[in-house]
Structure 1
């Protein structure tokens, strides 16, 4: 299966770019791994993308502080690899790309890394990776485990196949009780699935900007001092909606500005075409081209690793991949933790429990379509008191929702102790 998918895989990475660095490690070539330190046990952690690497950041920080543990990281995407090198280049004993899930490549990498425990994050089930762990007697943990509605429906249709995968997993640490039930329905032994919560909520956001720093950053970005609407991790179709909302805002707030952070910066050509068609009268700028010369009406932050900082500048956030036809959503966690009022569409299946908590505490509002999104954005822009209450709700939600990292670390250490 891996060999059959190789041509498409190579085409994909060529399109995305940034994969030449240590490319051979995807096939088990040129992998440099130091020997294990005496008295320490090695954990191999795989996180696919930049988003997942950010999600497990609080867990990595806790594990690296444990004197009996050393960490080897693998990632799948080039942006995830760059972030891992930047944040954990000194703490991890090694960082490389995850190998193609074919026996020869996986076997080579397993021999070099030689872990005492293997961990994957969220929804990853790599058949050969799992088989290598089983063959070697290495415990395999799935942490922060979740199944979106679409993934669950697809997996149920292939339950005969997924049942075999489940038997190779030592333990699943699920994000929510619903996720736990779904893994059990797919064939996982109930005794080997526990709900630990979502570690994304335990994220530490650094640096936290004070009011002067926010003002200075907005000035450098050409965003002025007026109301700022942020589109967070937007997908196709959502930028057009935000442009409409921005024009409506400008009718009552001439100093309002728009900041769009697309989920994939590689879409800049597509977004630029949209701006030429629908916003030729606006001053727009792409951050990848440097800081703007003077003020802008709309800034496209098509760069990586800055969303947490940029979120702190916003007065109101729309969370992307959530309006039809999108169904999965992007993370609303940072907005809630920072106390920034937010909106999202009905398609938040990847963040069901987080969505429910944010709505319960009044930190967010759900809009069901583009028209409702436009109306709600305009309404909230004129209602500072409602935005203040939403921000306070986010902080209360944070206080009630944290603790998943501690529970997950306890589970990991228990498995290491039994090894």
Structure 2
């Protein structure tokens, strides 16, 4: 508990409805007669966006009531904004300790519990077994790092997985990893990655994109996007911008950091590394003049901002990072992209994008800058990558339908 409190103080944004993490102050409506209530937990903003197509598929069934919980403040804000009409209630996930977890279970009283991706909370799954409620893990995945750690605690994870009714895995590799951790073979099914089935709305037309760019001080020229960047990657992108500008003086950079709370850290870096360039932070309102660099330190806008770009770099993929941020939106929108070798969270998606020629993989910062500069000058290559991304998306869909079918089969039992 002390460690948890220190963590949330450091991250910030957790003050609102803090008591709900202890099961206090929840506003849970009475369950309608004849309905089935599904409790769905997704950690953060990224997971909330990922499960959107599954939420819509389940909410379309009139028998089903959905209660949503999230862990992060950004995920909570997004859930309220996007899913209030789909869910009968939205709150923070309780701290995974018996008194708090049990209290929330009593209030929500679900007929089925679902967690997304890597969410295997021991007390949460224990409460499901204790109450005879099926617990499902959807879009289940294990990165190289997570799997290595989990194998050191294999006995513990075997117990947690024995409390899991079904794992719907993202890929065959993820399925094999869950089996290696001790999951019963008949409880792990490969259904595919539901992130691939995402529908991006609205799709912006050329006039709207041009208008948005003008409002943000990014009117003309090649636009490089840093998508969900992590420490160290913003510096590389600034260097890439300078290299591009040796050939294209109108080139600009749009940085969307994975954690907006890092704005002060990024600003200090820009003052030191890019003091001669015009930069601005989106959270501070519209810029007064044209910009060289815009930092979008806001939440929930990445999908729209991606549509404004000519080339994207996918964050958390260069050393020392190993897991990667999602490249799905770029692929769905047909945006050519560059990422490092550290994409273990999206292994099957990465392979599909590379096979289709939709992305370029680089080993380090130097190769990233070289590749970005080369693509900035090669419109034909970017057009082929764009077509490859659209083809990859068209051929990879179907995971939501398979997962929803599996979830509904548990409700019918």
- Determine if the TM-score, normalized by the shorter chain, exceeds 0.5: yes
Deviations 1:354-405 (A, max 9, x none): 0000001000010111111011011001110000000000000001100000
**What is the Cα deviation at residue 18 of structure 1?**
2.0
Aligned residue in 2 for 1:397: 392
Work out which of the residue numbers 357, 362, 365 in structure 2 matches 1:367: 362
Is contact 1:147–1:350 with CA below 8 Å preserved after alignment? yes
Residue 332 (1) aligns with residue 327 (2): yes
List aligned pairs for 1:288-307, cutoff 5 A.
Answer: 288-307=283-302
Residue pair 1:34, 1:93 contacting (<8 A) in 2 also: yes
Match of 1:3 in 2: none
Structure 1 partner of 2:16? 21
| C-alpha displacement of 1:23 | 1.0
Unaligned stretches of 5+ in structure 1? 1-5
1:272 aligns with 2:263: no
Deviation at 1:20, TM superposition (A): 2.0
Q: Are the aligned partners of 1:224 and 1:257 in contact in 2 as well (CA < 8 Å)?
A: no
Q: Name the CA distance, whole Å, in 2 between partners of 1:303 and 1:31.
A: 28
Does the aligned pair in 1 maintain the 2:55–2:86 contact within 8 Å? no
1:140-219 alignment to 2 at 5 Å? Answer: 140-219=135-214
Q: Distance in 1 between matches of 2:400 and 2:154?
A: 30
Q: Which runs of 4+ in 1 moved over 3 A?
A: none
TM-score (norm 2): 0.99
Mapping 1:251-290, distance limit 5 Å: 251-290=246-285
Deviation at residue 9 of structure 1 after TM alignment = 1.1
Distance 1:135 1:324 in 2: 43
CA positional deviation for 1:89: 1.5
Q: Distance in 2 between matches of 1:283 and 1:96?
A: 40
Which residue does the alignment assign to 1:388? 383
Deviation at 1:91, TM superposition (A): 2.1
Distance 1:215 1:224 in 2: 7
Indicate conservation of the 8 Å contact 1:224/1:295, yes or no: yes
Q: Secondary structure at the match of 1:365?
A: strand
Give deviations 1:170-212, integer Å, cap 9, x for gaps.
Answer: 0000000000000000000111100000000111101100000
Residue 52 of structure 2 is matched in structure 1 by 57
Gap regions ≥5 residues in structure 2: none
